[in-house]
Amino acid sequence: MFYHVKELQYNAKPSQPDPVYAKKLQEILGGQYGEMSVMMQYLFQGWNCRAESKYKDMILDIATEEIAHVEMIATMIAQLLDGAPANEQDEAAKDPAIEAVLGGMNPQHAIVNGLGAQPNDSVGYPWTARYTIASGNLLADFRANLNAESQGRLQVCRLYEMTTDPGVRDMLSFLIARDAMHQNQWMAAIEELETTQGAVVPSTFDRKNEKQEVSYTFYNFSEGTESQQGRWAGGPTLDGQGTFEYITKPEPMGQIPELQPGPPYIHGTPPLSMRQNQNNPKPFQ
């Protein structure tokens, strides 16, 4: 059960309307790494959690906070659209250079949403549940969460640089700080899980069933050998189970793929030998 508190978690008050910036802000609402994505990702991870209760409780704590972030951004977008007429995009984009970069106001904000936010990204692509990950393996999920928070914080920081509105920047500075906390939180949880599960996911798979002779081999599949200078190319592996090996010119280990002709009802291209034996009609004379 969820309860709604009327007050926002943090202030979401722009200094003045800005419908062009409202379009940009849609990215951190309904984009791939927006607040809707992490909200749904964490909620389903928490609801599906079968591990010990401290993990479920922690996941749902942050998931519920993300609901608050969605409300904050939606509220900010709506206020940025206050009093915005449909021709606002023309006013904002009189300069051809500005028009090319900004694209003006999102007309759907006025036509479809009545000067409100929408569950889309900044170019109008609808939010999709395919952005989310809830695999049931906490180590795999927490790594995905760390990536989501990393990308999310990066995008919010970029949006911070795209406005001078003190009210907008104030809200974004709060979200940036929370994304920093959430990165630290997921890193701490990952570190804790790795002490008991190891670094490779899933830890429950019998490693005798994998091709162990290539488990720690780095293949140089591009020109140059600069990649050999990295930590991943030599020394002990991070799971403590082997040693990295660098192969400069890897040799193929598989067969030449040769497929049988498809059955006649597929109407594919028959092999040459079959075509030569067919009773083709006489050429036109």
Total of domains in the chain: 2
- For residues 162 and 239, state if they share a domain: no
| Amino acid 100: pLDDT | 45
Segment 181-207 shows an average pLDDT of 95
Q: Which residues are annotated as a binding site for Ca(2+)?
A: 57, 61, 220, 222, 224
Instruction: Identify whether 226 is part of a domain.
Output: yes
- For residues 234 and 118, state if they share a domain: no
8 A C-beta contact, residue 12 and residue 72 = yes
Q: Which residues are annotated as a binding site?
A: 35, 57, 61, 66, 69, 149, 182, 220, 222, 224
- Pick from 169, 197, 225: which residue ends a domain? 197
8 A C-beta contact, residue 248 and residue 221 = no
8 A C-beta contact, residue 10 and residue 174 = yes
**How far apart are the C-alpha atoms of 39 and 202, rounded to whole Å?**
25
Mean per-residue pLDDT of the chain: 90
- Residue 181's nearest CA partner among 146, 215, 155 is 146
Q: Which residues are annotated as a binding site for Mn(2+)?
A: 35, 66, 69, 149, 182
If you search the block for the tokens 């059960």, which residue do you land on? 1
Segment 115-138 shows an average pLDDT of 95
Which domain, by its residues, includes 43? 19-197
Share of the chain above pLDDT 90, in %: 78
**How far apart are the C-alpha atoms of 285 and 276, rounded to whole Å?**
20
Give the pTM: 0.86
**How far apart are the C-alpha atoms of 14 and 77, rounded to whole Å?**
9
